[in-house]
Amino acid sequence: MFYEEAAYNRASELLRASEDSGQRGRFEMRLRLALHLSPKTAISYDRRNATPRWRLIYAHLVDGFAYPAESSEVLARAIARTLDNWDEKREGVTAHKNFLIQRDGNRCQNCLAVLGSTDNVTVVTKDPFKPYYLAPEELLRAEVDHMEAVSTFGTNDRSNLQLLCRLCNSGKGDGLGLSVRQEAQFAGFEIGSSPISYRSALVYWVIERDGRKCPLCGLTDRELTIRPVIDNGSLVRSNMRSACVVCAGPTASAAVTV
């Protein structure tokens, strides 16, 4: 790993790459370097090719860039891994879905909804805080998530993968959190008129913050949703808490008492 970093760092210097702006910048720089240093045959690599990807890159480094042969293998292998990760990320790692269902069960690992099922309580009750009912087939679709994002050096190793429902996965976004800017934009909205994208971000980040279990009953096997702490308070994370569908009770709008 040290040598791999060193090889990338050296290549960065050769490109006179400026120091990055955070982890996302680092991955983008890696990818840019990988694309820059690879021949076309390695970028649009056919997996049936008898020559390993890294060997194509190795030859290109030595022949095209006149890199020293003795230190180019490490760099070529690192570049091939970067391209592999990128390809797999783009393919959505769907090949891992069945494995993950076997390992973790057919539930969203964040909100614990049963994936692909319209029997979830929030669908039946049309919970506006978890708006599956607006597009159940779409929003309850199982998606493979990188717990640590590929963009921050997460890998496609199965230990870094989990299944999320589409609602949670889109709410997670780039994994960097919900910005105050977004909160300020929608804080004054009624839940029913706020965009699904904002509601999904609240669902993901509030449930994740509260430990993916019901803070009221402590159970970890019931679907989770979110509710405001103060019913007529603003639509921001800090005014939300998670609750299982039993403890949550009716939705806020129905529960408001004057």
For Zn ion, the binding residues (CB under 5 A) are: 108, 110-111, 165, 168, 214, 216-217, 244, 247
What is the separation of C-alpha 127 from the centre of its chain, rounded to a whole number of angstroms?
A: 24
Nearer to Zn ion, 110 or 194 (CB): 110
SS3 content of the chain, % helix, strand, coil (to 5): 55, 10, 40
Tell the smallest beta-carbon distance from residue 164 to Zn ion (Å): 6
**Measured between alpha carbons, how far is 121 from 130 in angstroms, rounded to an integer?**
10
Report the nearest approach of Zn ion to the CB of residue 22 (Å). Answer: 27
- Closest contact distance (angstroms) between CB of 229 and Zn ion is 16
- Whole-number Å distance between alpha carbons of 57 and 60: 5
| Helix (H) or strand (E) segment spanning residue 146 | strand 142-146
Q: Residue 201 Cβ, how far from Zn ion at the closest point, in Å? A: 12
Q: Which is nearer to Zn ion, 88 or 145 (CB)?
A: 145
Name the residue among 197, 196, 170, 184 with its Cα closest to residue 235.
Answer: 184
Residue number with CB closer to Zn ion (123 or 214): 214
Helix (H, G, I), strand (E, B) or coil at 240: strand
**Which of 38/225 has CB closer to Zn ion?**
225
Q: Which of 86, 57, 88, 92 is nearest to 74 (CA)?
A: 57
Whether 167 contacts 175, CB under 8 Å: no
| Distance, CA of 174 to CA of 217 (rounded, Å) | 31
Least spacing, CB of residue 42 vs Zn ion, in Å: 37
CA angle 196/201/203 to nearest 5° reads 90
User: What's the closest the beta carbon of residue 112 comes to Zn ion, in angstroms?
Assistant: 7
Of 74 and 114, nearer to Zn ion (C-beta) is: 114
Q: Please say which residue, 12 or 194, places its beta carbon nearer to Zn ion.
A: 194
Closer by beta carbon to Zn ion, 11 or else 206 = 206
DSSP per-residue codes, 77-120? HHHHHHHHHHHHHHHTTGGGHHHHHHHH-SB-TTT-PBTT-TTS
We find the least distance from the C-beta atom of residue 108 to Zn ion, in angstroms, to be 3
